[in-house]
């Protein structure tokens, strides 16, 4: 019975988080032929009609589509990876990949059908996807060996079509191990570049891949996000299953929720500006990946913990404003204000904030019972009706003989500037 229940849960999870797959055909004027493509739409595509999604173009889509889709579905399930539109190009039914990736022997630039295929992707395929689907500006391209080498040709453009490149065990065209490092150094837009090899890779290809890595490591372009991996014990084919999740987590690192390491090393050590850190994290996500998503509740809690740890209670006000913007119908904003007043000793206003929170929608682990309990506990510290709070007795000092007249206003005493 337990096994059947587990199987049912797995099937339901796969249904909820699986991508809708569509097979389509594009009539290409560049190639003068029809080309089959497979499109994977995100699980939320139909439900979330206002959301746009990055594009992942897969060369060798016949066999790379499933492993990429599986890795993305798994990452999305845990909210580590965003949803993307996957576009797999069929290149292996008649071994089209060889002619698709034809390059000039001396320059390594696309040649003959390779030039037409290069233009097909940039001038026909991508515009077709952008026209028919809700796409974000961020575009990724991936391939293996022959196609992995070919996709590097897009880097020869001053303004490359793609923003991220996943080149697995590339079979590099002529001169590419020297030219790609130069191009990565010169490009002025943010670029993600991932390439890999393996201990059991084709030796001739492996040596050139390693040579290119040595040159790229010397590139000092701040807009380049670079990663190279050499998998021990892997073969030319098994390196693909190692490379895919590693490359996706590199490219989408900014998307991931605040981790313990990020909190300890980057947030808790700040002297101030914890809410600014959170705002900037999601601004980068929107600007670099074209994804506009609500700030995660766990990320709110991380910033809340940093504020409490560093006693920067005034920042709760800014955090409350951010909460109201992202979750306007929830109790989160009033809860954050309640914490600020409570920590600053203004229990009367804290009670009011928690009671306002009680009237809003529950969210995460914040409940109406919790808000009432906090308010009732703080009410015990407030003076009862008709009873004044205790005041310290005022001791009047006898002014010295040379003191100014009492009707002369005293000079203002400079107050110490608050440290952040």
Strand ranges for 72-148 from DSSP E = 85-89, 135-144
Would you list the domain boundaries of the chain?
15-255, 260-379
Query: Is a pLDDT exceeding 50 seen at residue 124?
Result: yes
pLDDT at 325 over 80: yes
pLDDT of 405 higher than 60: no
Higher pLDDT, 9 or 353: 353
Contacts of 38 (CB under 8 A, 6+ apart): 21, 22, 23, 24, 61, 65, 86, 87, 88, 90
Average of per-residue pLDDT across 8-27: 66
Give yes or no for residue 403 having a pLDDT over 50: no
151-193 per-position pLDDT tens digit:
999 999 989 999 999 999 999 999 999 999 999 999 999 999 9
Percentage of the chain exceeding pLDDT 90: 81
Residues in contact with 340: Cβ distance below 8 Å, sequence separation at least 6, in sequence order: 313, 314, 316, 317, 320
pLDDT at 101: 96
State residue 153 phi and psi, 5-degree precision.
Answer: -60, -25
The structural architecture, per CATH, of the domain 15-255 is 3-Layer(aba) Sandwich (3.40)
Q: Do domains 15-255 and 260-379 have the same CATH topology?
A: no
- Would you state the pLDDT for residue 366? 97
Looking at the predicted structure, is the pLDDT value of residue 17 above 60?
no
Q: In this predicted structure, what is the pLDDT of residue 11? A: 40
Residue 109 tokens, joined? 């630039």
**Distance from the Cα of residue 35 to its chain's centroid:** 32
Residue 417 confidence (pLDDT) above 60: no
CA distances from 206 to 93, 144, 367 (A): 27, 13, 57
User: Would you mind telling me the total number of residues written for the chain in this entry?
Assistant: 420
> Per-residue confidence at 20, pLDDT binned at 50, 70, 90?
confident
pLDDT tens figures, 365-399: 999 999 999 999 999 999 876 555 554 444 444 44
Question: Per-residue pLDDT for 411 more than 50?
Answer: no
Q: What is the pLDDT of residues 270-316, one digit of tens each?
A: 999 999 999 999 998 888 788 888 999 999 999 999 999 999 999 99
- Note the Cα 396 to chain centre separation in Å: 62
Query: Given pLDDT bands bounded at 50, 70 and 90, which one contains residue 194?
Result: very high
The predicted pLDDT at position 388 comes to 57
- Rounded mean pLDDT of 73-93? 95
DSSP codes of every residue in 346-394: -HHHHHHHHHHHHTSB-BTTB-HHHHHHHHHHHHTTSPPTT-PPP-PPP
Domain 260-379: CATH superfamily is Tetratricopeptide repeat domain (1.25.40.10)
Helix H or strand E segment including 57: strand 53-58
């Amino acid at each position: 019975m337990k096994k059947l229940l587990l199987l049912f849960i797995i099937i339901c999870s796969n249904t909820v988080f699986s991508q809708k797959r569509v097979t389509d055909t594009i009539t290409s004027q560049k190639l003068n032929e029809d080309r089959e493509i497979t499109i994977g739409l995100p699980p939320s595509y139909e439900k979330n009609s206002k959301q746009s999604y990055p594009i992942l173009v897969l060369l060798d889509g016949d066999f790379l589509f499933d492993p990429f889709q599986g890795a993305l579905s798994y990452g999305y399930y845990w909210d580590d990876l965003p949803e993307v539109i996957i576009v797999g190009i069929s290149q292996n039914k008649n071994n089209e990949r060889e002619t698709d990736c034809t390059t000039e022997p001396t320059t390594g630039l696309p040649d003959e059908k390779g030039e037409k295929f290069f233009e097909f992707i940039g001038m026909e395929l991508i515009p077709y996807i952008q026209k028919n689907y809700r796409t974000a500006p961020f575009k990724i391209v991936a391939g293996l060996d022959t196609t992995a080498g070919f996709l590097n040709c897009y880097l020869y453009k001053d303004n490359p079509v793609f923003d991220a490149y996943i080149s697995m065990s590339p079979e590099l065209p002529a001169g590419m191990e020297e030219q790609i490092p130069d191009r990565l150094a010169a490009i002025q837009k943010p670029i993600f570049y991932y390439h890999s090899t393996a201990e059991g890779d084709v030796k001739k290809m492996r040596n050139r891949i390693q040579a290119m890595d040595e040159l790229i490591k010397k590139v000092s372009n701040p807009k380049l996000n670079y990663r190279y991996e050499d998998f021990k014990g892997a073969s030319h084919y098994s390196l693909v299953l190692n490379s895919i999740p590693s490359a996706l987590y590199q490219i989408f690192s900014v998307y991931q929720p605040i981790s313990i390491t990020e909190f300890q090393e980057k947030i808790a050590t700040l002297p101030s500006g914890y809410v600014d850190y959170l705002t900037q994290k999601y601004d980068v996500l929107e600007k670099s990946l074209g994804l506009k998503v609500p700030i995660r509740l766990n990320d709110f809690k991380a910033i809340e913990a940093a504020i409490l740890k560093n006693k920067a209670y005034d920042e709760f006000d800014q955090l409350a404003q951010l909460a109201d913007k992202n979750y306007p119908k929830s109790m989160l904003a009033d809860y954050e204000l309640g914490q600020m007043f409570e920590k600053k000793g203004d229990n009367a206003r804290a009670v009011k904030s928690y009671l306002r929170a009680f009237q809003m929608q529950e969210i995460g682990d914040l409940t109406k019972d919790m808000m009432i309990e906090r308010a009732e506990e703080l009410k015990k510290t407030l003076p009862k009706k008709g009873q004044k709070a205790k005041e310290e007795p005022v001791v009047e000092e006898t002014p010295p003989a040379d003191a100014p007249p009492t009707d002369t206003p005293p000079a203002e005493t400079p107050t110490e500037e608050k440290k952040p």
